[in-house]
A and B are shown apart, each in its own frame.
Chain A
Amino acid sequence: MASEDDEFTMLFQDFYPSLCRFLECLLGGRAPLAQDLAQESFLQLHRTAWGTLPVGEARFWLYRVARNMAINEFRKSNTRYRLFDRVVEVMRPRARNPEQEYEVQERNAMVLEMLQTLPEDQRAALLLREQEQLSYREIGQVLNISESKVKVDIFRARASLRERWSKLSGISRVARMGN
């Protein structure tokens, strides 16, 4: 039992941060909600599926469950969460100096803004590819779609972001010149 808990702890330490990041990007920010959903996914894994899943499957199981939870959240009316998240965001202690913090926040905000322009399925596929380095086959398993759809979704997501990115860069360049 103890060793099972140790194994679970290792899995948790390895993948909890990346699951939080995946959910945060999927949800368009809202870090506290992303962390809650990640925790809930691990809780479900621990309660129900842990020990019955093959070793390599637990990670995919987690991403699948977490993504379903995120989809449920999209469906809910979520103004309350958004407000709460903003309050928490402002109150969070900062470890870096203000300049670095500002830079990170700016970059994060830009990434989130771009990702939010994508349909959810493309966004999930792209995030699993870029951040989690899953192969098309593994992404297909997590999202329950075919490999060829994964390929097309990822390509479309990139093409669309590329276009938007060039527009955004153009705008910021013009703004800098104006200043």
Chain B
Amino acid sequence: MNCSFIEKISSLIDGELSPTEAREVERHLLTCSECEQLRADFLNLRSQITSFETSLQPEVQNRALKKILAGPRRAPARGLQWGFGTQALAFAVLLIVVGVIGFVAYQKSNQRDRQDMAKVQNPAPMPAASVEPSKSPEAKESPEPQPSPNKGSEEKSPRQAPNKRPIVREPKPGEQFAAIPEHVRSADAETMTAMHFETSERLLLAFKNVRLDEPSAAEEVGYERKRAKQLVYQNMLLKREADAAGDVQISSLLENLEPILIDIANLPDRPDENTVRAIRERVERKNIVGLLRVNSTALARALD
């Protein structure tokens, strides 16, 4: 092959070309069958390489994690060798535990004392029948309502536990290679979906590579924004199609993709770095690019 574009095709499928270059190469692909074939072959190679399945077993993974967490956090300096061994360590731990228990008990007793004090200073409102007639008018006029016992208990209610992610999580969908849906959808919809995934993947890769500090950033963002706008509508239609066909996997991927496309489509000309970083982080956290790749490959295989 002697075409001058061949090297750029590799960068094109990686989303590493500037919008101007990408447009130029895409136009070239329409007229050069050799380059189009090269692009298809490179994508095929990609799908072969990503289809490699590691032979890792979950129990091996869990064992490895336990072993790592059981180890010391930071290796101590070489000269600092303690001669006391485990006994000294056990004693130190015991001291700490006793200290912590003592501190907690002290805190609790203090808290109780404070509550008692508070009760004395702010007694709960007396029932109307028990109000003494001899009370001074100033006391009656006091407009500030006393906190009700209920409100007090609300305030003391335990704080909501922070929303922690579980330690051992279900494997991410992208970690397992997507199975071809068992039910049959129309070949047209599947082809459209596969193409949509491929285009969206390219868009997200290109978006990941936009450098805001470069002068061409505004042009690049503008280009990605335009592409995202086109893809949003397609995404909605394909999601409806997937829902109708009962294809949960595809529908859920399209559902995850939609807000990201909308966010890119709504970016200003000169977006600030934090906004762009937030979108990129969401894409990465949800492993959207990986899922798009895996699913477009699976759909393409099913169509073959």
Nearest chain-A residue to B41 (Cβ)? A162
Q: In this assembly, does B208 line the interface, its C-beta being within 8 Å of a C-beta of chain A?
A: yes
**Residue pair A35, B52 in contact (C-beta under 8 Å):** no
Interface contact B45-A158, CB-CB below 8 Å: yes
Tell whether B157 is near chain A: CB-to-CB under 8 Å.
Answer: no
| Residues 46-96 of B contacting A (Cβ, < 8 Å) | 46, 48-57, 60-61, 64-65, 67-69, 71-75
> Shortest CB–CB separation between residue B19 and chain A, in angstroms?
16
Q: With A6-B167, A17-B56 in contact, is A162–B65 under 8 Å at CB?
A: no
Given A135-B209, A151-B16, A155-B7, verify A6-B68 contact (CB < 8 Å).
no
Please give me the residue from chain A that is nearest to B67 by CB atom: A39
Nearest chain A CB to B255 CB, angstrom units? 21
Q: Mark B153-178, 1 if CB is under 8 A from A, else 0.
A: 00000000000110111011001000
Whether, in the assembled complex, A107 has its beta carbon less than 8 Å from a beta carbon of chain B, the answer is yes
A8 close to chain B: CB less than 8 A: yes
Q: What is the bound-complex CA distance between A104 and B179, given in angstroms?
A: 13
B53 touches A104 (CB 8 A): yes
Is the Cβ of A130 less than 8 Å from the Cβ of B69?
no
In the assembled complex, B21 has its CB within 8 A of some CB on chain A = no
CB-based contact B41/A165 at 8 Å: yes
Known: A135-B16, A135-B208, A158-B42. A111 touches B69 (CB 8 A): no
Tell me, in angstroms, the Cα distance from A161 to B16 when the chains sit together.
Answer: 20
A126's nearest neighbour on chain B, judged by CB, is B49
Give B8-40 as 1s and 0s: 1 = Cβ < 8 Å from A's Cβ atoms: 001100101000000000000000000000100
Q: What chain A residues lie within 8 Å of B57 (beta carbons)? A: 92-93
Given contacts A130-B50, A133-B289, contact A20 B56 (CB under 8 A): yes
- Is the contact region of chain B dominated by helix, strand, or loop, or is it mixed? helix
| Residue A108 CB within 8 A of the other chain | yes
Interface residues on A, range: 35 or more
Q: Give complex CA distance A155, B11 in Å.
A: 8
A136 at the interface (CB under 8 A from B): yes
**A108 in contact with B75 given A17-B61, A151-B11, A158-B10 (CB within 8 Å):** no
- Inter-chain contact A18/B45, CB cutoff 8 Å: no
Whether B181 sits at the interface, judged by CB under 8 Å, is no
- The residue among B48, B49, B208 with the most chain A CB atoms within 10 A of its own CB is B49
B222 at the interface (CB under 8 A from A): no
Question: What residues on A are CB-neighbors of B48 within 8 Å?
Answer: 107, 110-111, 114, 165
Q: Is A25 an interface residue (CB 8 A)?
A: yes
Nearest chain-A residue to B290 (Cβ)? A133
List residues of A (21-45) whose CB comes within 8 Å of B's CBs: 21, 24-25, 31, 34-35, 38-39, 42-43
Task: Find out whether the CB atom of A154 lies under 8 angstroms from the CB atom of B10.
Answer: yes
| Given A13-B169, A31-B56, A154-B10; A5-B49 close (CB under 8 Å) | no
CB <8 Å contact, A42 and B68: yes
Q: Are A46 and B71 in contact (CB under 8 A)?
A: yes
Distance in angstroms from B271 CB to nearest chain A CB is: 18
The reply to whether B52 and A16 contact each other, CB–CB distance below 8 Å, is no
**What separation, in Å, do the CA atoms of A17 and B173 have in the docked complex?**
13
CA distance A129 to B172 in the complex (A): 19
Query: Are A9 and B69 closer than 8 Å at their CB atoms?
Result: yes
Which chain A residues (108-122) contact chain B, with CB distance < 8 Å?
A: 108, 110-112, 114-115
Q: Which residue in chain B gives the minimum CB-CB distance to A89?
A: B55
- Chain A residues within 8 Å of B56, by CB: 16-17, 20-21, 31, 35
Interface positions of B (Cβ within 8 A of A):
6-7, 10-11, 14, 16, 38, 41-42, 44-46, 48-57, 60-61, 64-65, 67-69, 71-75, 164-165, 167-169, 171-172, 175, 205, 208-209, 289-290, 293
A-B contacts, 23 listed (Cβ < 8 Å): A9-B167, A12-B68, A16-B64, A17-B61, A20-B54, A24-B52, A24-B54, A25-B49, A43-B67, A46-B69, A47-B71, A47-B73, A47-B75, A107-B51, A130-B49, A135-B209, A137-B209, A151-B11, A158-B42, A162-B41, A165-B41, A165-B48, A166-B41
Beyond A13-B171, A14-B172, A31-B56, 14 additional contacts (C-beta under 8 Å) are A6-B165, A10-B165, A13-B65, A24-B52, A31-B54, A46-B69, A46-B73, A47-B71, A47-B75, A107-B52, A111-B49, A111-B51, A129-B14, A155-B7
Residues of A whose CB lies within 8 Å of any CB of B are: 5-6, 8-10, 12-14, 16-18, 20-21, 24-25, 31, 34-35, 38-39, 42-43, 46-48, 50, 89, 92-93, 104, 107-108, 110-112, 114-115, 126-127, 129-131, 133, 135-137, 151-152, 154-155, 158-159, 161-162, 165-166
